[in-house]
Copies of this chain bind each other. A is one copy, B any other.
Amino acid sequence: MGLLVVGSIALDDIETPLNKVENVLGGSSTYITLAASYFTSPIELIGVVGNDFCKDHIKILENHGIGLTGLQIKTDGKTFHYGCKYGEDCNERETIFTDLNVFENFDPIIPEKFRKSSFVLLGNIAPELQLNVLSQLDSPKLVVCDTMNLWINIARKALIETVEKVDVLVVNDSEAKILSEKDNLFSAAKALQEMGPKIVIIKKGEHGAILFMGEDIFCVPAYPLESIADPTGAGDAFIGGFTGYLHKTKDLSFANIKRAVVYGTVMASFNVQSFSTVGIENLKQIDIDKRYNEFIKMTQFD
């Protein structure tokens, strides 16, 4: 079975201190599926777009072999439109507007043939939608779940219910602390593991990520970059590369999940080097292999 990905699809307006773009391809599942497509297939995308979602965007997804059977195209509305602005510090993102449009009434319907999917990735959408998706599935083997501070704040109960049902939870450091109500990252991870997921991954932006699996811990730095064009989608590219690699290898050992974290880190690094999804649209296998090997050199010792 393929890798099933549910998440948002958006058109983004992004402003950084150096550049500004409008109506570019965005949304959690877009970054996720593109990043995952370098590792595995088939990938099935469940999402919704409006009448303004152009053919070129569809083509980008199709060119990466992403299955769009589960993509709903609503002709009576517009695509989710999101605007944000970054300060000098890439970690500071200000939301300028959030026009949900057709995403407001998104009903994620999993086509019958995908309900037995064994690998499922719940991108960052409302936890009620994530629960809705899970209720349609027939005992998936691995459910990976992303979320964000918004849902922790406004939909805590549903989010906790979701977290109880997933195998891998991916959050950033501040989200880990507010969701677990712990001050320390390691205590937070333990508390989150106790809520359900065997595996918790805490992303720390430019400082890398920490994998918690049972009692084991694995720390990776971010791939060093001299400049970042656009941090949007970094976490999605991470989770896409991570899950794509696991779906390809079907090996859920600690040793292999470590490798998946490194592939996720590599994909996030490509993503932030360009605006929108451009950084992960035209990679070659050799680019990914090369960066993975550089990552080995900069983290491994004997």
Contact = CB atoms under 8 A, between A and B. Distances in A.
Interface of chain A: mostly helix, strand, loop or mixed: mixed
A262 B218 contact: no
A217 interface: yes
B297 A216 contact: yes
A224 B299 contact: no
Contact of A219 (B204, B221, B255): B221
A299 B221 CA distance: 9
A9 to B, nearest CB: 32
B301 A218 contact: yes
Contact of A299 (B204, B207, B218, B227): B218
Contact of A224 (B207, B219, B302): B219
Interface string A251-280: 000010011001000000000000000000
Given A210-B224, A217-B224, A219-B221, A301 B262 contact: yes
A225 B299 contact: no
Please tell me how many copies of the chain the complex holds. Answer: 2
B225 A186 contact: yes
A190 to B, nearest CB: 9
Q: State which size class the interface on A falls in.
A: 20 to 34
A302 B302 CA distance: 12
Sorted nearest first, the 6 A-B pairs with minimum C-beta distance are: A219-B221, A258-B301, A207-B207, A217-B298, A186-B226, A186-B224
24 contacts: A88-B183, A185-B224, A186-B224, A186-B225, A187-B226, A204-B207, A208-B221, A216-B298, A217-B224, A218-B299, A218-B301, A219-B224, A219-B298, A220-B221, A220-B299, A221-B221, A255-B301, A255-B302, A258-B301, A259-B301, A299-B299, A299-B300, A300-B300, A300-B301
